[in-house]
């Protein structure tokens, strides 16, 4: 998460695909043994389907122009043949009044190019798992002529049909069903022949929303931001980061609904990339128990850049609906974690996950690879060799530097050209002896300014260093064919890829595979690429440092053959081992590991109102035990601002006014705070400082449980806390009568957490070993308290003094409240009757022989009448039986009980 965290472990590139698949099978077997439901299916959610769709509709018969009338035929003595008669019958006009023939719709689908690594990875999983691939259809093309479906499916290139666009709103329900049926039978050429089925499911989007989502929020706001550019840096006119938020939200909601429609219990769900960052949380609401992973293919910026986004919290909360979030590199995962801590104030678990109200999202990384086998086969295409020979002849006697990038500001084409100019300046021996062939394919969004800048720079270099028989830079702004592309990579003496920011760059990997059969030429890579951490044998540079890049170019062009071979061998081994197939299988393995973790092993169900009401109404005596912060009032940055709402006060007053109810607030707050805000409520019992003090209902005096305990340890704990307070700006110490707490909520979140871990280690390994104390890590705080004092002891005391209680409702939200839930585990080993020994909280206040009179008591409570309730997500690790999500829901349930009990009051008083 930060510079104080332990160093990350590098990705192991020696693990084979067979090894990872064996681990997946082992995990699945273990999960089956544990009773975890697995369907054997994986739902892959991508922005686009990997196919393009074309639609044509045949006109009604009435719309076809009628030919001239046929003259009446002369009578023939030869009777018609049976075949002719059959055809004649079928050509008869429809009888008058018959229903018109429905229009005949025809769809054709074709391969969509782009995202080849992701798609090949998904295809490879069909060897082991059934899959559903959900995505947008993209703009639907309108074909002017019908195409046989089989021909369309077998085509490997773009359609040559004249096309226009068909709006999704123009399609009928039957039209959509017809495409869904066609996609259901579709099989791509890269799917394993003997593999399991991949079902393609389209998401139907309103055209305006679809383009506002992709062309608007994705490309104008998120894409620049994730590549360290703000929206105003790339916009051609006044830019608003929020202008397209509505369509982004709408499209994400449509995807979440579509996933929920096809989901079956036991499915694994993987959501891909920045287009769908809200889907995990939306899907979590619809299918709470789903195992959801999110993979972000782009870079993720530092928190200082990300926090500029107006919708930063919505984006982070959307992502954190997943059980597991994976990035390309460790640094991207660290940036994301830092953003969650700094922007939202969320806690980081000891294992590096993000805790949001008890729902823990694991954070990981796994770089994407390419389909190395397919690239190796593509290099053998017969059309490549003639083009390769032509390039060799054209540039005979010269070294060839090759670059191929999209014409996008983040791809660093301008910096590459300037670095090449610097090479010719600093190493003039290369003038006339080296050429740069730079191919820039058009980007998704045109940038005339960048295109003009590149053209002017090329012209400047060629004018300054060229001659009649030598042109140093050959720039081609076009999309080149696959044969030309691989010929260019194979002929190169040096590959140069210098993006300013990039996630995964397939060209670099394809370059290495292409060089396996040719020169084994070196590769220069920008250190700001997601794959740079795995391709360590490449010459890595800072693209902004032109002298460094020029020196790397010179070194690459003059590198000895043995060094070339050594570097190439290591790069080739990495690329051919950690492929897109391995990547996809590793993601499956990671999500299965997450599914088997303790946080997902048990989902706490939402508290049932009906059952709660039933037991409440039939009980003659009821106990209500509430934590305060995070349970009756939300957690706030300034503790003094956590005041109760009107509804909270109404619920407590109403419950306490009922003589059948015993109501307690059991809080970590001191008695003064509780009396200030809640002391006016009649018959409300209160326990302060995590069970250190108690004020019985109807009483105005506090009982101190610490009077008989050795509290001399407090001065030692205070000295330790003072040491860390001096070194942690924004932290402070809270000294209570029975405990002492160090707060760091207002400190730098990452430094505060690091200091908290250091202080905790010192307390546990030194002070706690010698003294009867325990160290508790809370929400942005660290507390030291006596071992004999906790909330659980207070709960036992209340139960012991009210053994006739027939209903218990106990609610809390953090670790200290787990002591209460533990105290209410009254029926071990499925016993039907509960008994309670005299608790320490009863005997501590007794003196001498008075303590001996306390005996074990029988409790009237039944198992189903104990409602322990954790506030937070259903996946939160807790001893509670039920859960609610927010403090507001706790109050809402209490007001509900007050209302349902109100009609019974008059009759009960008769």
Categorize the per-residue pLDDT at 850 as very low, low, confident or very high, splitting at 50, 70 and 90: low
CB 805 within 8 A of CB 819: no
Instruction: Output the pLDDT for position 846.
Output: 66
Q: In a 3-state reduction of DSSP, which class is residue 663? A: strand
Categorize the per-residue pLDDT at 84 as very low, low, confident or very high, splitting at 50, 70 and 90: very low
Beta bridge partners of 783: 741, 776
Instruction: Output the pLDDT for position 10.
Output: 53
Instruction: Output the pLDDT for position 58.
Output: 56
Name which of 14-18, 565-569, 845-849 the model is least confident about. Answer: 845-849
CA nearest 689: which of 783, 822, 767? 783
Six-digit token pair at 88?
A: 């004649």
Higher pLDDT, residue 331 or 144:
331
CB 144 within 8 A of CB 59: no
- Does residue 777 share a domain with residue 642? no
Residue 82 lies in a domain: no
Six-digit token pair at 557?
A: 């062009």
Instruction: Output the pLDDT for position 596.
Output: 77
Instruction: Output the pLDDT for position 844.
Output: 67
pLDDT at 398 over 90: yes
Q: What is the mean pLDDT of residues 568-581?
A: 93
Instruction: Output the pLDDT for position 73.
Output: 45
- Does residue 346 share a domain with residue 313? yes
Instruction: Output the pLDDT for position 837.
Output: 86
User: Whats the size of the chain, residue-wise?
Assistant: 910
CB 505 within 8 A of CB 521: no
Instruction: Output the pLDDT for position 235.
Output: 55
Q: What is the mean pLDDT of residues 21-33?
A: 92
Instruction: Output the pLDDT for position 602.
Output: 64
Instruction: Output the pLDDT for position 12.
Output: 57
- Does residue 782 share a domain with residue 793? no
Six-digit token pair at 561?
A: 């053959």
pLDDT at 802 over 80: yes
Considering 727, 760, 786, which residue would you say is the last residue of a domain? 786
CB 583 within 8 A of CB 570: no
Categorize the per-residue pLDDT at 116 as very low, low, confident or very high, splitting at 50, 70 and 90: confident
pLDDT at 1 over 50: no
In angstroms, the CA 746 to CA 640 distance is 13
CA angle 268/300/310 to nearest 5° reads 100
Residue 737 lies in a domain: yes
Instruction: Compute, in degrees rounded to 10, the torsion defined by CA atoms 109, 111, 117, 121.
Output: 50
Q: Mean pLDDT, the chain, as a whole number? A: 86
Would you put residue 733 in left (φ > 0), alpha (ψ -120 to 50) or beta?
A: beta
Q: What is the mean pLDDT of residues 591-602?
A: 73
Per-residue pLDDT tens over the stretch 45-78: 999 999 999 988 755 555 555 555 545 544 444 4
- Does residue 772 share a domain with residue 699? no
Most confident of 104-118, 265-279, 630-644, 835-849: 265-279
In sequence order, the 6+-apart residues with CB closer than 8 A to the CB of 680 are: none
Six-digit token pair at 18?
A: 């067979």
| Helix, strand, coil percentages for the chain (3-state, nearest 5) | 45, 20, 40
Residue 514 lies in a domain: yes
- Does residue 841 share a domain with residue 764? no
CB 344 within 8 A of CB 315: no
Other beta carbons within 10 Å of 177 = 12
Categorize the per-residue pLDDT at 706 as very low, low, confident or very high, splitting at 50, 70 and 90: confident
- Does residue 696 share a domain with residue 547? no
What DSSP string describes 794-811?
HHHHHHHH-TT--EEEEE
Categorize the per-residue pLDDT at 36 as very low, low, confident or very high, splitting at 50, 70 and 90: confident
Crossing angle for the helix pair 749-762 and 713-726, to the nearest 10 degrees: 150
In sequence order, the 6+-apart residues with CB closer than 8 A to the CB of 134 are: 43, 44, 45, 46, 201, 202, 203, 255, 258, 259, 262
- Does residue 800 share a domain with residue 896? yes
| Strand intervals (E) in 242-322 | 268-272, 291-295
Six-digit token pair at 874?
A: 């259903």
Distance of CA 290 to the CA centre of its chain: 13
- Does residue 846 share a domain with residue 731? no
Tokens 């990339």, residue located = 273
Q: What is the mean pLDDT of residues 474-495?
A: 93
CB 416 within 8 A of CB 549: yes
Residue 12 burial (CB < 10 Å; 0-12/13-18/19+)? Answer: exposed
Instruction: Output the pLDDT for position 814.
Output: 85
In angstroms, the CA 201 to CA 118 distance is 17
- Does residue 625 share a domain with residue 555? no
How far does the chain reach from its first CA to its final CA, in angstroms?
Answer: 65
CA nearest 612: which of 889, 400, 340, 873? 889
Q: What is the CATH number of the domain that holds 692?
A: 3.40.50.1000
In angstroms, the CA 283 to CA 290 distance is 8
- Does residue 295 share a domain with residue 195? yes
Q: What is the mean pLDDT of residues 639-648?
A: 87
pLDDT at 105 over 80: no
Structural domain of 480: 373-577
Please report, for residues 349, 667, 768, the alpha-carbon distance to residue 744 in angstroms, rounded to integers and kept in the order given: 16, 20, 21
Q: pLDDT > 70: what percent of the chain?
A: 87
Look at the chain and report how many structural domains it folds into. 4
Categorize the per-residue pLDDT at 91 as very low, low, confident or very high, splitting at 50, 70 and 90: very low
In angstroms, the CA 327 to CA 299 distance is 8
Please report, for residues 131, 354, 800, 837, 880, the alpha-carbon distance to residue 823 in angstroms, rounded to integers and kept in the order given: 46, 28, 11, 12, 11
Residue 87 lies in a domain: no
Instruction: Output the pLDDT for position 5.
Output: 41
CA nearest 768: which of 743, 786, 755, 752? 786
Per-residue pLDDT tens over the stretch 743-769: 998 899 889 989 999 999 999 998 988
Q: What is the CATH number of the domain that holds 23?
A: 3.40.50.2000
Q: What is the mean pLDDT of residues 606-620?
A: 93
CA angle 37/40/41 to nearest 5° reads 110
In angstroms, the CA 806 to CA 859 distance is 8
Q: In a 3-state reduction of DSSP, which class is residue 591? A: helix
Residue 504 lies in a domain: yes
CA nearest 558: which of 433, 394, 395, 396? 433
Q: Give the CB-side neighbour count of residue 88, counting CA atoms within 13 A.
A: 7
In angstroms, the CA 110 to CA 152 distance is 6
- Say which DSSP state 392 is in: H
Residue 394 lies in a domain: yes
User: Phi first, then psi: what are they for 135, rounded to 5°?
Assistant: -165, 165
Beta bridge partners of 404: 439
Residue 829 lies in a domain: yes
Six-digit token pair at 284?
A: 């979590």
Q: Which residues are catalytic?
A: 627
Tokens 């128990």, residue located = 289
Other beta carbons within 10 Å of 799 = 22
Considering 786, 816, 850, which residue would you say is the last residue of a domain? 786
Categorize the per-residue pLDDT at 145 as very low, low, confident or very high, splitting at 50, 70 and 90: very low
Categorize the per-residue pLDDT at 431 as very low, low, confident or very high, splitting at 50, 70 and 90: very high
In angstroms, the CA 692 to CA 737 distance is 8
Rg (CA), the chain: 35
Element (H, E) at 786: strand 781-786
Instruction: Output the pLDDT for position 67.
Output: 54
Instruction: Output the pLDDT for position 234.
Output: 58
- Does residue 386 share a domain with residue 358? no
pLDDT at 729 over 70: yes
Instruction: Output the pLDDT for position 194.
Output: 83
Instruction: Output the pLDDT for position 894.
Output: 94
pLDDT at 848 over 60: no
Per-residue pLDDT tens over the stretch 313-364: 999 999 999 999 999 999 999 999 999 998 888 888 888 899 887 789 999 9
Please report, for residues 186, 308, 322, 869, the alpha-carbon distance to residue 331 in angstroms, rounded to integers and kept in the order given: 39, 19, 20, 38
In sequence order, the 6+-apart residues with CB closer than 8 A to the CB of 690 are: 667, 668, 738, 739, 783, 785, 789, 790, 791, 816
CA angle 335/336/339 to nearest 5° reads 85
Considering 365, 387, 419, which residue would you say is the last residue of a domain? 365
Longest dimension (CA), the chain: 132
Q: Give the CB-side neighbour count of residue 499, counting CA atoms within 13 A.
A: 25
User: Phi first, then psi: what are they for 840, rounded to 5°?
Assistant: -60, -35
Beta bridge partners of 536: none
CB 596 within 8 A of CB 27: yes
Q: In a 3-state reduction of DSSP, which class is residue 344? A: helix
Per-residue pLDDT tens over the stretch 217-227: 998 899 999 99
- Does residue 409 share a domain with residue 263? no
Q: What is the CATH number of the domain that holds 729?
A: 3.90.1070.10
In sequence order, the 6+-apart residues with CB closer than 8 A to the CB of 860 are: 621, 803, 804, 805, 806
Q: In a 3-state reduction of DSSP, which class is residue 783? A: strand
| Assessment of whether the complete model's pTM goes beyond 0.75 | yes
Q: Which residues in 190-226 are b (16+ Cβ under 10 Å) and which e?
A: bbeeebbebbbbbbebbeebbebbbebbbbbbbbbbb
Residue 257 lies in a domain: yes
Helix residue ranges, H only, 427-534? 448-465, 482-491, 506-515
């Amino acid at each position: 998460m930060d510079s104080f965290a332990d160093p990350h472990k590098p990705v192991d590139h020696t693990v084979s695909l067979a090894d990872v698949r064996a681990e997946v099978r082992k995990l699945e077997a273990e999960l089956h043994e544990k009773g975890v439901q697995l369907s054997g299916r994986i739902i892959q959610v991508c922005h686009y389907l990997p196919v393009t769709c074309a639609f044509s509709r045949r006109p009604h018969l009435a719309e076809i122009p009628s030919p001239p009338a046929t003259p009446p035929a002369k009578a023939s003595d030869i009777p018609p043949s049976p075949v002719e008669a059959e055809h004649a019958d079928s050509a008869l006009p429809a009888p008058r009044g018959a229903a018109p023939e429905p229009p005949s719709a025809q769809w054709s689908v074709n391969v969509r190019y782009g995202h080849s690594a992701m798609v090949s990875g998904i295809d490879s999983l069909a060897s082991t798992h059934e899959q559903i691939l959900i995505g947008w259809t993209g703009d639907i093309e309108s074909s002017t002529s019908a195409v046989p479906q089989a021909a369309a499916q077998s085509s490997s290139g773009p359609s040559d049909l004249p096309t226009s666009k068909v709006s999704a709103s123009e399609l009928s329900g039957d039209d959509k069903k017809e495409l869904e049926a066609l996609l259901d039978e579709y099989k791509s050429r890269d799917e394993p022949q003997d593999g399991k089925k991949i079902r393609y499911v389209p998401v139907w989007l309103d055209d305006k929303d679809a383009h506002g989502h992709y062309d608007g929020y994705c490309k104008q706001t998120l894409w620049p931001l994730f590549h360290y550019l703000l929206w105003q840096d790339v916009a051609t006119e006044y830019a608003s980061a929020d202008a397209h938020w509505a369509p982004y939200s709408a499209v994400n909601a449509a995807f979440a609904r579509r996933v929920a429609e096809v989901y079956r219990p036991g499915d694994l769900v993987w959501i891909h990339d920045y287009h769908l960052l809200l889907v995990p949380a939306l899907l979590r609401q619809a299918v709470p128990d789903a195992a959801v992973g999110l993979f972000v293919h782009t870079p993720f910026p530092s928190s200082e850049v990300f926090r500029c986004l107006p919708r930063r919290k919505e984006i982070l909360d959307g992502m954190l609906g997943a059980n597991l979030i994976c990035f390309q590199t460790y640094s991207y995962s660290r940036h994301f974690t830092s953003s969650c801590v700094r922007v939202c104030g969320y806690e980081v678990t000891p294992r590096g996950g993000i805790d949001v109200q008890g729902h823990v999202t694991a954070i990981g990384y796994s770089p994407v690879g390419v389909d190395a086998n397919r690239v190796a086969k593509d290099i053998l295409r017969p059309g490549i060799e003639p083009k390769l020979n032509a390039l060799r002849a054209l540039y005979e006697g010269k070294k060839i530097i090759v670059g191929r990038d999209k014409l996008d500001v983040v791809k660093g084409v301008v910096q590459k050209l300037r670095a090449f100019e610097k090479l010719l300046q600093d190493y003039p021996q290369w003038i006339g002896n080296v050429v740069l062939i730079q191919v820039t394919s058009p980007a998704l969004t045109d940038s005339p300014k960048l295109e003009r800048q590149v053209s002017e720079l090329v012209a400047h270099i060629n004018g300054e260093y060229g001659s009649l028989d030598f042109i140093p830079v050959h720039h081609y702004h076009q999309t080149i064919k696959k044969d030309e592309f691989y010929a260019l990579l194979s002929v190169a003496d040096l590959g140069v890829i210098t993006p300013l920011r990039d996630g995964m760059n397939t060209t670099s990997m394809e370059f290495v595979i292409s060089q396996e059969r040719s020169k084994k030429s070196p590769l220069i890579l920008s250190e700001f690429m997601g794959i740079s951490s795995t391709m360590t044998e490449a010459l890595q540079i800072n693209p902004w440092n032109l002298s460094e890049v020029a020196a790397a170019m010179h070194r690459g062009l003059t590198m000895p053959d043995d060094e070339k071979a050594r570097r190439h061998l290591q790069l080739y081994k990495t690329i051919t081992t950690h492929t897109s197939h391995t990547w996809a299988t590793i993601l499956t393995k990671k999500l299965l590991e997450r599914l088997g973790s303790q946080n997902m092993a048990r989902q706490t169900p939402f508290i049932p109102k009906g059952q709660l009401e039933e037991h409440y109404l039939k009980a003659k005596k009821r106990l209500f035990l509430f934590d305060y912060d995070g349970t009756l009032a939300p957690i706030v940055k300034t503790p003094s601002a956590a005041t109760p709402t009107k509804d909270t006060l109404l619920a407590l007053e109403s419950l306490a006014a009922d003589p059948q109810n015993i109501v307690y607030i059991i809080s970590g707050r001191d008695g003064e705070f509780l009396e200030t805000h809640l002391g006016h409520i009649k018959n409300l019992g209160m326990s302060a400082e995590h069970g250190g003090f108690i004020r019985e209902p109807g009483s105005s005096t506090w009982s101190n449980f610490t009077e008989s305990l050795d509290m001399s340890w407090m001065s030692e704990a205070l000295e330790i806390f003072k040491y860390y307070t001096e070194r942690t700006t924004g932290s402070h110490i809270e000294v209570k009568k029975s405990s002492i707490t160090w707060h760091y909520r207002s400190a730098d979140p990452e430094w505060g957490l690091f200091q908290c871990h250091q202080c905790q280690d010192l307390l546990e390994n030194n002070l706690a070993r010698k003294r009867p104390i325990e160290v508790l890590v809370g929400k942005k705080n660290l507390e030291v308290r006596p071992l004999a004092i906790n909330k659980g002891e207070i709960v036992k005391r209340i139960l012991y003094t009210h053994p006739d209680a027939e209903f218990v409702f106990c609610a809390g939200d953090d670790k200290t409240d787990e002591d209460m839930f533990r105290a209410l585990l009254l029926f071990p080993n499925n016993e039907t009757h509960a008994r309670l020994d005299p608790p320490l909280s009863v005997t501590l206040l007794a003196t001498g022989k008075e303590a001996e009179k306390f005996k074990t008591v029988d409790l009237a409570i039944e198992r189903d009448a104990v409602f322990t309730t954790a506030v937070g997500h259903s996946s939160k690790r807790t001893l509670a039986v039920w859960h609610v999500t927010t403090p507001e829901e706790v109050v809402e349930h209490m007001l509900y009980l007050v209302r349902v009990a109100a009609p019974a009051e008059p009759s009960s008083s008769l």
